[in-house]
Amino acid sequence: MLKKVTLEKVLIYIVLIITAVFILTPFIWILLTALKSPEEVFANPPVIVPSKLQWQNFIEVFKLKNFSRYFLNSVVITIAITAGELITTILAAFAFSNLDFKGKDIIFTLLIGTMMVPGEVLLIPNFVTLSKIKWINTYKALIIPWCTSVTSIFFLRQYFLNIPKQLYYAAKVDNCSDFKYLIKIVIPIARPAIFTIAILKIINSWNSFMWPLIMTNSEKMRTLPIILAKFSSEVGMDYHMLMAASTIIITPMIIIFIFLSKYIINGVSKGGIKG
């Protein structure tokens, strides 16, 4: 029996190690390419590890015109979108899980139905709408349309449904308002789920490329991912610089995920589907 259990653990660890290698390989390749010279990038046979680490590739990226502005825009937009989504998600999830109002089930069903519509289908209608109200090339266009998420509302609603109703009834007996109950009791209990939504939104907003590219036409309004287009031209692509810029862009998100991944695991594991 002991040998069987040991063998099972060994097999599990082998599968996990192989999976980790497959997942990490693209990131390792990006970093190694970012540290190569142009000659080593196109060498045949391929050069895996650069003979001399080209740290100046990263310095050249930082020296790009408007890099600091791109970085500031990414930070501001990411923080604003995350804060906006948390507010709308918490309020909507609480309403759908704890409050009774006419048409609640119908409205929630319609919201869930919008999850079946691919985001790419909405790009043109959204662009036309925002252009008519003159929001093109503004922070409002980059922030407000993404301050809510049906997926996040659904996820947090399921978490709220797992909170015992006795707490709500006890709060009502103590003459506690719905808003106070939400702030004092529900949010502290649902902190892991809220952290999960926040982390995933930060990563998604930080890496957003298509929407900022479409909605901006000024260098002063663009975000970090758009910087990647600067290394592509009619004569080819500067892969070593492209990989250096990609490394700079994804590094903050990797750090955030490493330090806060426990909240994602905790939030997902406790937010079981109910009702």
Question: How is the chain split into domains, by residue range?
Answer: 64-234+249-270
Mean pLDDT value of segment 69-87: 95
Asked whether 154 and 123 are in contact (CB, 8 A), the reply is no
Asked whether 268 and 64 are in contact (CB, 8 A), the reply is no
- Tens of pLDDT, residue by residue over 200-231, are 899 999 999 889 988 988 888 999 998 888 78
For residue 232, the surrounding DSSP H or E stretch is strand 232-233
Q: Check whether 265 has a pLDDT greater than 80.
A: no
Whole-number Å distance between alpha carbons of 80 and 86 = 10
Q: Check whether 137 has a pLDDT greater than 60.
A: yes
- Name the nearest CA neighbour of 84 among 147, 149, 155, 154: 147
Mean pLDDT value of segment 111-123: 86
pLDDT of residue 264: 66
Mean pLDDT value of segment 67-74: 92
Asked whether 61 and 245 are in contact (CB, 8 A), the reply is yes
Q: Check whether 5 has a pLDDT greater than 90.
A: no
Quick check: helix, strand or coil at residue 259?
helix
Q: Check whether 8 has a pLDDT greater than 70.
A: yes
* Ramachandran sector of residue 95 (left: φ over 0; alpha: ψ -120 to 50; beta: rest): alpha
**Which class for 256: exposed (0-12), middle (13-18), buried (19 or more C-beta within 10 A)?**
middle
Q: What are the Cα distances from residue 268, in Å, to 112, 150, 221, 265, 273?
A: 19, 16, 35, 5, 10
Q: pTM (2 decimals)?
A: 0.83
- Tens of pLDDT, residue by residue over 24-61, are 898 899 999 999 988 888 888 888 888 888 899 999 98
Mean pLDDT value of segment 149-167: 90
Whole-number Å distance between alpha carbons of 71 and 51 = 31
Asked whether 205 and 146 are in contact (CB, 8 A), the reply is yes
Quick check: helix, strand or coil at residue 233?
strand
- Fold of the 64-234+249-270 domain: MetI-like fold (1.10.3720)
pLDDT of residue 101: 87
Whole-number Å distance between alpha carbons of 131 and 222 = 17
